[in-house]
Amino acid sequence: MSKFDSYFLMQPADVVDYAREKVDRFAAGARLECAEIGDGNINYIFRVWEPQSEHSVVIKQAGPTARISDAFVLSTDRNRIEAEILMLGQLLAPGLVPQVYKYDEVMSCCVMEDLSDYVIMRRALIEHKTFPLFADHITTFMVNTLLLTSDVVLDHQKKKGMVKRYINPELCEITEDLVYTEPFNDYKGRNDVFAPNLEWVRQHVYGDAALRLEAAKLKFGFMTHAQALIHGDLHTGSIFIKPESTKVIDPEFAFYGPMGYDTGNIVANLIFAWANGDATLGDPLEREVFCGWAAKTLVEVVDQFNQKFLTAWPLHATEVFAREPGVDRWYLDNVLSDTAGVAGLEIFRRILGLAHVKDITSIADEGARVRAERICMQAGLQFIKQRARFRTGADFLQTLLRSAAEHPRL
Protein backbone atom coordinates (compact mmCIF):
# COMPACT_ATOMS: atom_id res chain seq x y z
CA MET A 1 0.00 0.00 0.00
CA SER A 2 1.22 3.46 -0.85
CA LYS A 3 -0.40 6.85 -0.52
CA PHE A 4 0.25 7.17 -4.24
CA ASP A 5 -2.02 4.25 -5.17
CA SER A 6 -4.85 6.64 -5.97
CA TYR A 7 -4.81 10.13 -7.40
CA PHE A 8 -4.74 13.29 -5.32
CA LEU A 9 -3.31 16.75 -5.97
CA MET A 10 0.10 16.87 -4.29
CA GLN A 11 1.58 19.54 -2.04
CA PRO A 12 5.39 19.99 -1.85
CA ALA A 13 5.66 17.68 1.22
CA ASP A 14 3.80 14.94 -0.71
CA VAL A 15 6.13 15.45 -3.66
CA VAL A 16 9.16 14.82 -1.43
CA ASP A 17 7.55 11.52 -0.32
CA TYR A 18 6.74 10.75 -3.94
CA ALA A 19 10.32 11.38 -5.05
CA ARG A 20 11.62 9.09 -2.28
CA GLU A 21 9.22 6.30 -3.08
CA LYS A 22 8.76 6.49 -6.84
CA VAL A 23 11.76 8.20 -8.38
CA ASP A 24 15.00 6.25 -8.58
CA ARG A 25 17.31 9.21 -9.07
CA PHE A 26 18.14 9.93 -5.42
CA ALA A 27 20.19 7.93 -2.91
CA ALA A 28 18.16 5.95 -0.35
CA GLY A 29 17.49 8.12 2.71
CA ALA A 30 18.65 11.30 0.97
CA ARG A 31 17.38 14.60 2.43
CA LEU A 32 15.19 16.16 -0.25
CA GLU A 33 13.65 19.59 -0.62
CA CYS A 34 10.81 20.67 -2.87
CA ALA A 35 9.27 23.91 -4.11
CA GLU A 36 6.33 24.55 -6.42
CA ILE A 37 7.79 26.68 -9.20
CA GLY A 38 4.98 26.78 -11.79
CA ASP A 39 3.56 30.04 -13.05
CA GLY A 40 1.69 28.72 -16.08
CA ASN A 41 -2.07 28.68 -16.53
CA ILE A 42 -2.78 24.98 -16.19
CA ASN A 43 -0.56 22.66 -14.10
CA TYR A 44 1.58 22.37 -10.97
CA ILE A 45 5.35 22.15 -11.36
CA PHE A 46 7.55 21.00 -8.52
CA ARG A 47 11.32 21.09 -8.33
CA VAL A 48 12.81 18.45 -6.04
CA TRP A 49 16.46 18.58 -5.13
CA GLU A 50 18.98 17.00 -2.82
CA PRO A 51 20.93 19.87 -1.19
CA GLN A 52 24.02 17.70 -0.62
CA SER A 53 24.44 16.63 -4.22
CA GLU A 54 23.80 17.99 -7.68
CA HIS A 55 20.71 15.79 -8.10
CA SER A 56 17.36 17.36 -8.93
CA VAL A 57 14.26 16.61 -10.99
CA VAL A 58 11.10 18.38 -12.01
CA ILE A 59 7.74 16.75 -11.32
CA LYS A 60 4.77 18.10 -13.23
CA GLN A 61 1.28 17.17 -12.08
CA ALA A 62 -2.04 17.78 -13.80
CA GLY A 63 -4.95 18.90 -11.63
CA PRO A 64 -8.60 18.25 -12.48
CA THR A 65 -9.08 21.89 -13.46
CA ALA A 66 -6.81 24.56 -14.91
CA ARG A 67 -4.70 26.38 -12.35
CA ILE A 68 -5.86 29.74 -13.77
CA SER A 69 -9.58 28.97 -13.22
CA ASP A 70 -11.82 26.11 -12.04
CA ALA A 71 -14.09 26.99 -14.97
CA PHE A 72 -11.76 24.87 -17.15
CA VAL A 73 -12.42 21.24 -16.18
CA LEU A 74 -9.74 19.17 -17.92
CA SER A 75 -8.92 15.49 -18.15
CA THR A 76 -5.68 14.68 -16.33
CA ASP A 77 -4.87 12.45 -19.34
CA ARG A 78 -3.21 15.59 -20.75
CA ASN A 79 -0.21 14.62 -18.63
CA ARG A 80 0.10 11.31 -20.54
CA ILE A 81 -0.04 13.20 -23.81
CA GLU A 82 2.65 15.59 -22.60
CA ALA A 83 4.98 12.83 -21.38
CA GLU A 84 4.59 10.78 -24.56
CA ILE A 85 5.06 13.77 -26.84
CA LEU A 86 8.23 14.78 -25.00
CA MET A 87 9.57 11.24 -25.39
CA LEU A 88 8.70 11.28 -29.09
CA GLY A 89 10.34 14.72 -29.35
CA GLN A 90 13.57 13.23 -28.04
CA LEU A 91 13.53 10.84 -31.03
CA LEU A 92 12.44 13.35 -33.67
CA ALA A 93 14.36 16.40 -32.47
CA PRO A 94 17.13 15.12 -30.18
CA GLY A 95 18.41 17.62 -27.61
CA LEU A 96 15.58 20.07 -28.22
CA VAL A 97 13.22 18.77 -25.49
CA PRO A 98 13.83 17.80 -21.86
CA GLN A 99 14.38 14.15 -20.96
CA VAL A 100 11.41 12.39 -19.36
CA TYR A 101 12.39 9.90 -16.62
CA LYS A 102 8.97 8.57 -15.70
CA TYR A 103 5.23 8.93 -16.36
CA ASP A 104 2.81 7.95 -13.61
CA GLU A 105 -0.68 7.22 -14.90
CA VAL A 106 -2.22 7.02 -11.41
CA MET A 107 -0.89 10.32 -10.09
CA SER A 108 -1.09 12.00 -13.54
CA CYS A 109 2.41 13.32 -13.17
CA CYS A 110 5.66 13.01 -15.02
CA VAL A 111 9.20 13.26 -13.77
CA MET A 112 11.66 15.02 -16.02
CA GLU A 113 15.01 16.70 -16.39
CA ASP A 114 15.47 19.82 -14.26
CA LEU A 115 16.32 22.73 -16.54
CA SER A 116 17.14 25.22 -13.78
CA ASP A 117 20.19 26.44 -15.67
CA TYR A 118 17.84 27.63 -18.44
CA VAL A 119 15.35 30.50 -18.34
CA ILE A 120 11.83 30.74 -19.73
CA MET A 121 12.34 32.50 -23.03
CA ARG A 122 9.54 35.05 -22.55
CA ARG A 123 11.09 36.24 -19.29
CA ALA A 124 14.51 36.59 -20.92
CA LEU A 125 13.04 38.48 -23.87
CA ILE A 126 11.29 40.93 -21.54
CA GLU A 127 14.75 41.60 -20.10
CA HIS A 128 15.85 42.14 -23.72
CA LYS A 129 18.29 39.26 -23.84
CA THR A 130 19.06 37.88 -27.30
CA PHE A 131 19.61 34.31 -28.49
CA PRO A 132 21.50 34.03 -31.77
CA LEU A 133 20.92 30.27 -32.17
CA PHE A 134 17.19 30.32 -31.52
CA ALA A 135 16.04 30.47 -35.15
CA ASP A 136 18.22 27.49 -36.06
CA HIS A 137 17.05 25.43 -33.07
CA ILE A 138 13.34 26.14 -33.32
CA THR A 139 13.17 25.59 -37.08
CA THR A 140 14.89 22.20 -36.70
CA PHE A 141 12.39 21.36 -33.96
CA MET A 142 9.39 22.40 -36.06
CA VAL A 143 10.45 20.78 -39.33
CA ASN A 144 11.35 17.50 -37.61
CA THR A 145 8.30 17.21 -35.37
CA LEU A 146 5.83 18.43 -38.01
CA LEU A 147 6.97 16.94 -41.30
CA LEU A 148 8.00 13.59 -39.79
CA THR A 149 4.58 13.03 -38.16
CA SER A 150 2.60 13.95 -41.29
CA ASP A 151 1.10 11.78 -44.06
CA VAL A 152 4.02 12.89 -46.22
CA VAL A 153 6.32 10.63 -44.20
CA LEU A 154 4.37 8.27 -41.90
CA ASP A 155 2.61 5.11 -42.96
CA HIS A 156 -1.01 6.28 -43.25
CA GLN A 157 -2.49 3.63 -40.95
CA LYS A 158 0.14 4.35 -38.32
CA LYS A 159 -0.60 8.05 -38.63
CA LYS A 160 -4.33 7.48 -38.14
CA GLY A 161 -3.50 5.47 -35.01
CA MET A 162 -1.56 8.49 -33.75
CA VAL A 163 -4.49 10.80 -34.55
CA LYS A 164 -6.60 8.56 -32.29
CA ARG A 165 -4.00 8.26 -29.53
CA TYR A 166 -3.51 12.02 -29.32
CA ILE A 167 -7.07 13.19 -29.69
CA ASN A 168 -7.20 15.99 -27.15
CA PRO A 169 -10.75 17.41 -27.14
CA GLU A 170 -10.70 19.49 -23.96
CA LEU A 171 -7.42 21.24 -24.62
CA CYS A 172 -8.45 21.79 -28.25
CA GLU A 173 -11.68 23.38 -27.07
CA ILE A 174 -9.69 25.90 -25.03
CA THR A 175 -7.82 26.87 -28.19
CA GLU A 176 -10.97 26.89 -30.34
CA ASP A 177 -12.57 29.34 -27.89
CA LEU A 178 -9.67 31.46 -26.68
CA VAL A 179 -7.70 31.73 -29.92
CA TYR A 180 -10.14 31.23 -32.76
CA THR A 181 -13.41 32.73 -31.52
CA GLU A 182 -13.54 34.97 -28.45
CA PRO A 183 -11.05 37.64 -29.56
CA PHE A 184 -13.41 38.50 -32.43
CA ASN A 185 -16.81 38.48 -30.73
CA ASP A 186 -16.30 38.09 -26.94
CA TYR A 187 -19.21 35.64 -27.01
CA LYS A 188 -18.41 34.27 -23.54
CA GLY A 189 -17.76 37.71 -22.04
CA ARG A 190 -14.22 36.69 -21.00
CA ASN A 191 -12.20 39.16 -23.05
CA ASP A 192 -9.94 41.54 -21.17
CA VAL A 193 -9.33 44.60 -23.33
CA PHE A 194 -6.92 47.36 -22.25
CA ALA A 195 -9.42 50.18 -21.57
CA PRO A 196 -7.68 52.92 -23.61
CA ASN A 197 -7.91 50.66 -26.67
CA LEU A 198 -11.54 49.59 -26.19
CA GLU A 199 -13.01 52.01 -28.73
CA TRP A 200 -10.32 51.08 -31.29
CA VAL A 201 -11.10 47.38 -30.75
CA ARG A 202 -14.86 47.93 -31.10
CA GLN A 203 -14.31 49.67 -34.41
CA HIS A 204 -11.45 47.64 -35.94
CA VAL A 205 -12.05 44.16 -34.52
CA TYR A 206 -15.59 43.57 -33.22
CA GLY A 207 -16.93 45.73 -36.05
CA ASP A 208 -15.13 43.83 -38.80
CA ALA A 209 -17.34 41.10 -40.27
CA ALA A 210 -14.73 40.24 -42.93
CA LEU A 211 -12.21 39.53 -40.15
CA ARG A 212 -14.69 37.23 -38.37
CA LEU A 213 -15.27 35.37 -41.63
CA GLU A 214 -11.54 34.70 -42.03
CA ALA A 215 -11.22 33.69 -38.35
CA ALA A 216 -14.13 31.28 -38.90
CA LYS A 217 -12.40 29.69 -41.90
CA LEU A 218 -9.20 29.26 -39.88
CA LYS A 219 -11.16 27.75 -36.98
CA PHE A 220 -12.69 25.06 -39.18
CA GLY A 221 -9.19 24.35 -40.47
CA PHE A 222 -7.90 23.90 -36.92
CA MET A 223 -10.77 21.54 -36.09
CA THR A 224 -10.53 19.37 -39.20
CA HIS A 225 -7.02 19.48 -40.67
CA ALA A 226 -5.23 16.53 -39.02
CA GLN A 227 -1.96 17.39 -40.76
CA ALA A 228 0.77 16.72 -38.19
CA LEU A 229 1.29 16.05 -34.50
CA ILE A 230 1.61 19.68 -33.46
CA HIS A 231 2.87 21.01 -30.12
CA GLY A 232 -0.28 23.10 -29.86
CA ASP A 233 0.99 25.86 -27.54
CA LEU A 234 4.38 26.81 -28.95
CA HIS A 235 4.83 30.28 -27.51
CA THR A 236 7.91 31.70 -25.78
CA GLY A 237 6.52 30.66 -22.38
CA SER A 238 6.79 27.04 -23.56
CA ILE A 239 10.50 27.32 -24.28
CA PHE A 240 13.46 27.06 -21.91
CA ILE A 241 16.54 28.71 -23.32
CA LYS A 242 20.17 29.62 -22.74
CA PRO A 243 22.54 31.02 -25.35
CA GLU A 244 23.80 27.65 -26.58
CA SER A 245 20.67 25.53 -26.13
CA THR A 246 16.88 25.56 -26.58
CA LYS A 247 14.39 23.13 -25.00
CA VAL A 248 10.72 23.02 -25.96
CA ILE A 249 8.45 22.10 -23.03
CA ASP A 250 4.72 21.85 -22.25
CA PRO A 251 3.25 19.93 -25.21
CA GLU A 252 0.02 19.12 -23.36
CA PHE A 253 -2.05 20.80 -26.12
CA ALA A 254 -0.56 18.42 -28.70
CA PHE A 255 -2.91 16.80 -31.22
CA TYR A 256 -3.10 16.25 -34.97
CA GLY A 257 -3.73 19.73 -36.32
CA PRO A 258 -2.39 22.22 -38.87
CA MET A 259 1.39 22.71 -38.90
CA GLY A 260 0.87 26.46 -39.19
CA TYR A 261 -0.48 26.53 -35.65
CA ASP A 262 3.02 25.97 -34.28
CA THR A 263 4.90 28.13 -36.78
CA GLY A 264 2.36 30.96 -36.45
CA ASN A 265 2.70 30.96 -32.66
CA ILE A 266 6.46 31.40 -32.91
CA VAL A 267 6.06 34.27 -35.39
CA ALA A 268 3.49 36.09 -33.21
CA ASN A 269 5.49 35.69 -30.01
CA LEU A 270 8.63 37.07 -31.65
CA ILE A 271 6.50 40.04 -32.68
CA PHE A 272 5.44 40.53 -29.03
CA ALA A 273 9.11 40.52 -28.03
CA TRP A 274 9.88 43.09 -30.74
CA ALA A 275 6.90 45.24 -29.65
CA ASN A 276 8.04 45.19 -26.02
CA GLY A 277 11.56 46.31 -26.98
CA ASP A 278 10.18 48.96 -29.30
CA ALA A 279 7.89 50.31 -26.57
CA THR A 280 10.15 50.16 -23.52
CA LEU A 281 13.75 50.70 -24.64
CA GLY A 282 14.32 54.45 -24.51
CA ASP A 283 17.94 54.31 -25.64
CA PRO A 284 17.95 54.13 -29.47
CA LEU A 285 21.08 51.99 -29.59
CA GLU A 286 19.72 49.43 -27.09
CA ARG A 287 16.44 49.43 -29.01
CA GLU A 288 18.25 48.82 -32.28
CA VAL A 289 20.21 45.91 -30.80
CA PHE A 290 17.23 44.12 -29.30
CA CYS A 291 14.58 44.94 -31.91
CA GLY A 292 17.12 44.31 -34.66
CA TRP A 293 17.73 40.84 -33.23
CA ALA A 294 13.99 40.14 -32.87
CA ALA A 295 13.34 41.30 -36.46
CA LYS A 296 16.26 39.27 -37.85
CA THR A 297 15.12 36.21 -35.90
CA LEU A 298 11.57 36.57 -37.22
CA VAL A 299 12.93 36.60 -40.78
CA GLU A 300 15.29 33.69 -40.11
CA VAL A 301 12.57 31.56 -38.51
CA VAL A 302 10.37 31.77 -41.60
CA ASP A 303 13.20 31.45 -44.12
CA GLN A 304 15.04 28.64 -42.32
CA PHE A 305 11.76 26.78 -41.83
CA ASN A 306 11.12 27.01 -45.59
CA GLN A 307 14.62 25.89 -46.50
CA LYS A 308 14.79 23.00 -43.99
CA PHE A 309 11.27 21.86 -44.89
CA LEU A 310 12.06 21.66 -48.62
CA THR A 311 15.38 19.93 -47.91
CA ALA A 312 13.85 17.36 -45.55
CA TRP A 313 10.91 16.59 -47.88
CA PRO A 314 12.71 14.43 -50.48
CA LEU A 315 14.89 12.82 -47.80
CA HIS A 316 11.94 11.56 -45.73
CA ALA A 317 8.82 11.46 -47.93
CA THR A 318 7.27 8.02 -48.40
CA GLU A 319 3.86 9.01 -49.83
CA VAL A 320 3.92 8.31 -53.57
CA PHE A 321 2.31 11.62 -54.53
CA ALA A 322 4.87 13.53 -52.47
CA ARG A 323 7.28 12.84 -55.34
CA GLU A 324 5.16 14.74 -57.89
CA PRO A 325 7.07 17.87 -58.93
CA GLY A 326 5.62 20.94 -57.24
CA VAL A 327 3.74 19.13 -54.46
CA ASP A 328 6.34 20.11 -51.84
CA ARG A 329 6.08 23.83 -52.73
CA TRP A 330 2.26 23.71 -52.84
CA TYR A 331 2.17 21.98 -49.44
CA LEU A 332 4.63 24.47 -47.91
CA ASP A 333 2.70 27.46 -49.31
CA ASN A 334 -0.40 26.22 -47.48
CA VAL A 335 1.60 25.88 -44.25
CA LEU A 336 2.86 29.45 -44.72
CA SER A 337 -0.63 30.77 -45.30
CA ASP A 338 -1.77 29.05 -42.07
CA THR A 339 1.33 30.46 -40.35
CA ALA A 340 0.26 34.00 -41.20
CA GLY A 341 -3.36 33.36 -40.21
CA VAL A 342 -2.38 31.85 -36.86
CA ALA A 343 0.17 34.60 -36.17
CA GLY A 344 -2.69 37.08 -36.54
CA LEU A 345 -5.03 35.06 -34.31
CA GLU A 346 -2.37 34.68 -31.61
CA ILE A 347 -1.78 38.45 -31.69
CA PHE A 348 -5.47 39.20 -31.13
CA ARG A 349 -6.02 36.56 -28.49
CA ARG A 350 -3.01 37.61 -26.40
CA ILE A 351 -4.03 41.28 -26.52
CA LEU A 352 -7.82 41.01 -26.22
CA GLY A 353 -8.54 37.58 -24.78
CA LEU A 354 -8.44 35.85 -21.42
CA ALA A 355 -4.75 34.87 -21.43
CA HIS A 356 -2.47 37.84 -22.01
CA VAL A 357 1.31 37.93 -22.43
CA LYS A 358 3.65 39.88 -20.18
CA ASP A 359 5.56 41.28 -23.18
CA ILE A 360 2.52 43.54 -23.68
CA THR A 361 1.02 43.88 -20.19
CA SER A 362 4.38 44.86 -18.66
CA ILE A 363 4.60 47.98 -20.85
CA ALA A 364 4.01 50.48 -18.03
CA ASP A 365 3.53 53.67 -20.04
CA GLU A 366 -0.13 53.84 -21.13
CA GLY A 367 0.50 55.57 -24.46
CA ALA A 368 3.33 53.19 -25.32
CA ARG A 369 1.14 50.17 -24.58
CA VAL A 370 -1.75 51.56 -26.64
CA ARG A 371 0.63 52.04 -29.55
CA ALA A 372 2.30 48.61 -29.15
CA GLU A 373 -1.07 46.85 -29.09
CA ARG A 374 -2.26 48.71 -32.19
CA ILE A 375 0.96 48.00 -34.12
CA CYS A 376 0.57 44.29 -33.40
CA MET A 377 -3.16 44.19 -34.13
CA GLN A 378 -2.85 46.20 -37.37
CA ALA A 379 -0.23 43.69 -38.56
CA GLY A 380 -2.43 40.84 -37.28
CA LEU A 381 -5.35 42.06 -39.40
CA GLN A 382 -3.22 41.72 -42.51
CA PHE A 383 -1.75 38.38 -41.49
CA ILE A 384 -5.28 36.99 -41.23
CA LYS A 385 -6.98 38.70 -44.15
CA GLN A 386 -4.12 38.47 -46.66
CA ARG A 387 -2.58 35.24 -45.38
CA ALA A 388 -2.02 33.72 -48.83
CA ARG A 389 0.56 36.37 -49.70
CA PHE A 390 2.98 35.62 -46.82
CA ARG A 391 5.80 33.43 -48.11
CA THR A 392 9.10 34.73 -46.73
CA GLY A 393 10.45 36.20 -43.53
CA ALA A 394 10.69 39.57 -45.25
CA ASP A 395 6.94 39.49 -46.02
CA PHE A 396 6.17 39.20 -42.29
CA LEU A 397 8.71 41.79 -41.21
CA GLN A 398 7.64 44.37 -43.81
CA THR A 399 4.05 44.16 -42.59
CA LEU A 400 5.14 44.65 -38.99
CA LEU A 401 7.42 47.59 -39.81
CA ARG A 402 4.76 49.23 -42.00
CA SER A 403 2.27 48.93 -39.18
CA ALA A 404 4.80 50.53 -36.82
CA ALA A 405 5.36 53.38 -39.27
CA GLU A 406 1.61 54.00 -39.39
CA HIS A 407 1.61 54.48 -35.60
CA PRO A 408 4.28 57.14 -34.95
CA ARG A 409 5.60 57.63 -31.42
CA LEU A 410 3.84 60.47 -29.60
Contact status: 178 vs ligand SR1 (CB under 6 A)? yes
CB of 178 to ligand SR1, least distance (A): 5
Contact status: 172 vs ligand SR1 (CB under 6 A)? no
Residue nearest ligand SR1 (C-beta atom): 41
**Near Mg ion in 36-75, by CB under 5 A:** 40
CB of 354 to ligand SR1, least distance (A): 6
174 binds, among Mg ion, ligand SR1, none (CB under 5 to 8 A by kind): ligand SR1
Looking at this protein, which amino acid is placed at residue 221?
A: G
**Under 8 Å CB-to-CB from 105, ≥6 apart: which residues?**
80
CB of 246 to Mg ion, least distance (A): 16
Given phi > 0 = left and psi -120 to 50 = alpha, else beta, which region is 28? beta
The packing angle between helices 327-352 and 260-280, to 10°, is 50
Q: CB burial class (10 A; 0-12, 13-18, 19+) of residue 6?
A: exposed
CB of 210 to Mg ion, least distance (A): 32
Distance CA 184, CA 211 (A): 8
Q: Quick one: 40 or 183, whose CB is closer to Mg ion?
A: 40
Q: Binding residues for Mg ion, how many (CB under 5 A)?
A: 2
Contact status: 258 vs Mg ion (CB under 5 A)? no
Stretch touching ligand SR1 by CB under 6 A, among 2-10, 38-46, 82-90, 379-387: 38-46
Q: Are 32 and 20 in contact (CB under 8 A)?
A: yes
Q: Are 104 and 22 in contact (CB under 8 A)?
A: yes
DSSP string, 70-111: EEEE--TTHHHHHHHHHHHHHHHSTTSSPPEEEEETTTTEEE
Contact status: 98 vs Mg ion (CB under 5 A)? no
Question: Which SS3 state, helix, strand or coil, does residue 48 take?
Answer: strand
**Near ligand SR1 in 192-251, by CB under 6 A:** 233
Distance CA 275, CA 376 (A): 7
72 binds, among Mg ion, ligand SR1, none (CB under 5 to 8 A by kind): ligand SR1
Q: Quick one: 168 or 306, whose CB is closer to Mg ion?
A: 168
Q: Quick one: 72 or 383, whose CB is closer to ligand SR1?
A: 72
Contact status: 250 vs Mg ion (CB under 5 A)? yes
The packing angle between helices 284-316 and 260-280, to 10°, is 170
**Where on the chain is the footprint of ligand SR1 (CB under 6 A)?**
40-42, 66, 68, 72, 174-175, 178, 233, 355
